[in-house]
Structure formats: structure tokens, C-alpha cells
Structure 1
Amino acid sequence: MAQRTAIQVRANTSPGKPPGAQSAYRLQLDLADFGINSDVHVGTGIALVSVWVDLVIWVECASEGWRYRWWTGRISSRNRYVWAFCPADAHHTAARRIAIRYRELLAGHPLSETIADLAATAETPGNEVAR
């Protein structure tokens, strides 16, 4: 996933963007503070922030306003997904909670050797490889 600069993200959170897109890009910036790369996909009335396998955050408008929603990784006793929710205004809190879920998923589904090698090469000091 390509890492966006803070300038690009700020431009995407400008008042001219749809509210869902603004919230998605704001979350993306907060996730970057935790060292988590993500991609934003904007649709009509909804936006998605793709983070990792089984971790896609839906930015949606509900009766109480815009919110983030993601799967907790649990299934209820009635065999239904258990979702986590956070108001879009609390994007820092959402990013912290998503970072915890990301670390859980990363432990159970680590990077492949090839990707890990590429990431290590990209993080070498002085390397100009864009991530």
C-alpha cells in the first residue's frame, strides 16, 4: 500500500470533499501515526479504509451521524459477525482501537518472506524506495 504524505491527506480532507471521504482520510492520517499504511476507497455515501486482511473500516452515515465500523474478528453465538463502532468525530480513538486490532491480525497473519524482505529494503536508511 502506498503511503501518503501528510500534505496529500490534508488535501483530501478539505471541506470540498464528501463527509465520508474526509473522515476516511482523517482516519488514514491517524493510522499513519501508528505506523499503519492504508488505502482509502471513496464511493457514493460511503468510504472504505483498507488496512489488512480482515480489517476494512467502513465509513458510513448512520442515524447518529458518520461513524467507523470494522469487524472485531469474533462471531456471535448466533453465528453473526461482531462489529466495533466509533463516531467519525473520534478518529483518534478509532485509530487507536484499529491499531490494536491490526496488531492482533498481524500476529496471526504475518507478512510473507518476500514482502518482509521488500519492507526491510525500503526501510534501509538512505534508500529512496517509495512505500
Structure 2
Amino acid sequence: MTGSGSTSITSLDIAEELRIQLERQGIVADVHDGYGLALVSVWVGLVVWCKDDRYWWRTGWDARRHRPVYAWHPAGDAVQAARRIAFRYVELREVHPPSELTAGARCDPA
């Protein structure tokens, strides 16, 4: 809470909201918080950074520029952000399917 009586939304708050929206789509994720930044760990190669007013995540690699490509979405719209992240999740699960050790475990919602 701030001194004026209004609530202050933290990085952890927006990360938790995203986790809830992903869960509604059948995607189990973990939230990690520290140093003013929260992370939502979704799948191999898919971590969403949550800070201030946005979410951002890596979507690929720019071979010409030799650097990662990122997408971002306003934190005020966790529902649509979760939909976009879910598309990336499906792509990455095809590249990195669950191992036999994790099949049926908490990290494999299917």
C-alpha cells in the first residue's frame, strides 16, 4: 500500500495473474520473485519476465543480427497475454516434448 491508501500492483501480482490465466488454459507454470522482477516459468525455453506494466518473453532467434527476438504484452491484459504465450508454448512442446520421466507429473498437464 502507498501512503495515499491506494494499492500498488507489484511484479509478483502481475506474474500471479498471468499464471492463473495460463492455468485456465491448461498450462501449469511456476512464479519466481526477487529483486523487483517476477518470472513465470512455463516450459523449456519459455520464461516470461514480468515488470511494471508489461510481460515479455523470447520468441526466437535473429540469425542475421545474432540476437534473440522478444515479444511483449501489456500487463493490464493478462488474458490476451496468456493466449499469446500459449501459442509459443505449443510450438516449444513440439520441439521439447515431455520426457518419459515427467509424463504424468505436475509439469505435464496433458
> Could you tell me the TM-score, scaled by structure 1's length?
0.71
Instruction: Check 1:29–1:80 CA distance in 2 against 1; reply closer, same or farther (3 A cut).
Output: same
> Within 2, Cα distance between the matches of 1:50 and 1:17?
24
> Within 2, Cα distance between the matches of 1:70 and 1:78?
18
Show CA shifts across 1:37-78 (max 9, x none).
0110111221000011110000023xxxx1001000232521
Whichever residue aligns with residue 40 of structure 2, its letter is V
> Could you tell me the TM-score, scaled by structure 2's length?
0.83
Q: Which has the higher helix share?
A: 1
Superposed CA RMSD in Å reads: 2.1
Does 2:97 match 1:106? Answer: no
Q: Which residues of structure 2 form unaligned runs of 5+?
A: 1-5
Verify the 8 A CA contact 1:76 1:82 in the aligned structure 2.
Answer: no
Does 2:55 match 1:68? Answer: yes
Paired position in structure 1 for 2:75: 88
Does 2:16 match 1:25? Answer: yes
Q: Which residues of structure 1 form unaligned runs of 5+?
A: 1-14, 124-131
Q: When the two structures are aligned, how many residues end up with a matched partner? A: 102
Q: Which has the higher contact order (CA 8 A, sep 6+)?
A: 2
Paired position in structure 1 for 2:102: 115
Q: Which of 32, 39, 48 is equivalent to 2:39?
A: 48
